[in-house]
Chain A
Amino acid sequence: MMNVKNLVKKYDGKTVVNSVSFEIPKGKVTSLIGPNGAGKSTVMGMISRLIARDAGIVMFEDQDISSWKSKELSKRLAILTQTNNIQMKLTVRELVTFGRFPYSAGHNTAEDEKIIDQALAYMELESIQDQFIDELSGGQRQRAYIAMVIAQDTEYVLLDEPTNSLDIYHASKMMKIVRRLCDELGKTVILVLHEINYAAFYSDYICAFVDGKIAKMGTVKEVITKENLAEIYNVDFEIMEIEGRPLSIYY
């Protein structure tokens, strides 16, 4: 269970996250949305211990996240950001192997190898498992990182803008993968997303940020309404219902 209370972050005296409190529903997909600079990525950084917080509490499984042992936490919670530039010559399989590092510290057992094989198969990467990461396309690289997260075998998966710089085909494929992580593998997934419609179609809960505060939080149907979105983004919206989910139109 993850419970956030009164989270605050300031950069140079400017408050970017202002007293944010929420609870992450377990076993569901939760998307953090909002305009640029609303603080959603900063919140993501703070709940994943990548960014130091200035005030507030992040309770993870009844213990504050800063009092967790880094290694133990890495078996429970995985975070994938967009700043992945590797200068090393690394193959897809070797990258996925790093996902087992919290468990085996570099000395993999047969069990670890099996999990790596499964992760590669799950992401359909077997045919390119010996290619170098820096020679892959953006979509393939993203899938390789997801495979690594799967190999890490954590209950919680945090993804910071997983569709960023992917084309429509790969982005929607990525969102289907997110859905499968939750439905098939039973993981709790937390996303930062820019595209409202991806958030509306593939997540269970939505948390909308404006100016460092939570403007709305609830199920997709509760949050994605004409009035709410107009308030959050300051743009006029039309909402259509497709497959029982609200599709937003803006221009």
Chain B
Amino acid sequence: MNQAAVRANRRKLVILAVIVLLCAAGYMFYAVNFGNSKLFHYSMKLRSPKLIVMLITAFAIAGASLVFQTIINNVIVTPCLLGMNALYSLIHTAVVFVAGSTSLLATNSNLAFVVDLVLMAVVATIIYGYLFEKTQHNVLYILLIGTVLTSFFSSIQTTMTRIMDPNEYDSLLETLVASFENVNAEVIVASLVVLAAVIFVLRKELALLDVISLGKEQAINLGVDYDRCIRRLLMGVTLCIAVATAMVGPISFLGLIMANLARQFLKTFRHKQLILASTLFGMAILIGGELIVERIYHYAVPISVFIGVFGGIYFLYLLLTNRRV
């Protein structure tokens, strides 16, 4: 039974992977002029960075959301509900505000990326690490504090933008409200490096996720160095969110949708499979959604609107059906 369930889940994962490949192929080759090699190359040049960004984003958000839910021991939270996106906007704004949009910090996107990541990781780990300890991982408090922090960060950010030079604000806005039409493709390599580093540094902690999902007491009982482990994982979550946000901007409910679809689909506790499934769901949603947005709606409606609407409905459904929240 045990092994059979694992095998059945593997089959499901293969099916998901095939769907993702189909979506990707559809996205890349829909309405492409194969006859003219120049036009073909031009289309590929436009589309492939977007595709890569979507794949990376899906993985970053999926991993971050699942790990975060396991840390909090609750399946309806996402790092976005805690204001990590708002924090990112704030830090990004603060960098431009202090150093100016023409400074090297803002014009060199790789350097800006690194600065964002470092600041974000330090600030988020201090704030959230402290809060989790203080509230003893009480989900309701954490969500409440997250809501308050979101408006707190946004207020500071708004204040900065108001007293900012209008031209500076203009160039800043481009990086703050990004979508897939406006991906930040220059940081693809840097993102991959960061994600790989996160996975490498946290490889031991990631292997402990299954045990951590049993709860704090059981994890300690089974020999997990809990506090240190949670701190490090939280740092990883922050970096992943920062990577995703840096490339495409805030997509709030995507992580929640992906993680819960994966849980419902696989009905397992194994995080390797869950992270893989939720990454694949994310890829399918993003690529499929973008295909629809670009080819059917002709860019009239951005994909974040769809994700917001359907994500919101799904969130309500989870709240109403999950009796253990």
Contact = CB atoms under 8 A, between A and B. Distances in A.
B2 A86 contact: no
Contacts of A105: 207
Interface string B202-226: 0000010011011101101111110
Complex A-B, nearest 5 residue pairs according to Cβ-Cβ distance, in ascending order: A74-B223, A88-B269, A71-B223, A89-B267, A130-B1
Interface of B: 1-2, 69, 73-75, 207, 210-211, 213-215, 217-218, 220-225, 263, 267-269, 324
A83 B221 CA distance: 13
B74 to A, nearest CB: 7
A45 to B, nearest CB: 9
Which of B218, B221, B269 is the most central at the interface, judged by chain A CB atoms within 10 Å of its CB? B221
A84 interface: yes
A70 B225 contact: yes
Contact of A50 (B75, B220, B225): B220
B2 A94 contact: yes
B12 to A, nearest CB: 14
A104 to B, nearest CB: 11
B268 A78 contact: no
Interface of A: 48-50, 70-75, 78-81, 83-91, 93-95, 98-99, 101-102, 105-106, 130, 152
B223 A81 contact: no
16 contacts: A50-B220, A74-B222, A74-B223, A79-B221, A83-B215, A84-B214, A84-B218, A86-B213, A87-B74, A87-B75, A91-B1, A95-B214, A98-B218, A101-B211, A101-B222, A152-B221
B76 to A, nearest CB: 10
Consensus secondary structure, chain B interface: loop
Contacts of A83: 215, 217
A130 B2 CA distance: 8
Given A98-B211, A101-B211, A73 B223 contact: yes
A70 B75 contact: no
Contact of B223 (A80, A94, A101): A101
A70 B1 contact: no
B221 A74 contact: yes
A247 to B, nearest CB: 33
A250 B263 CA distance: 50
A90 B1 contact: no
Contacts of B213: 86-88
Contact of B207 (A78, A106, A152): A106
Nearest to B228: A70
B211 A70 contact: no
A153 to B, nearest CB: 12
A36 to B, nearest CB: 20
A94 B1 CA distance: 11
A85 B215 contact: yes
A182 B2 CA distance: 31
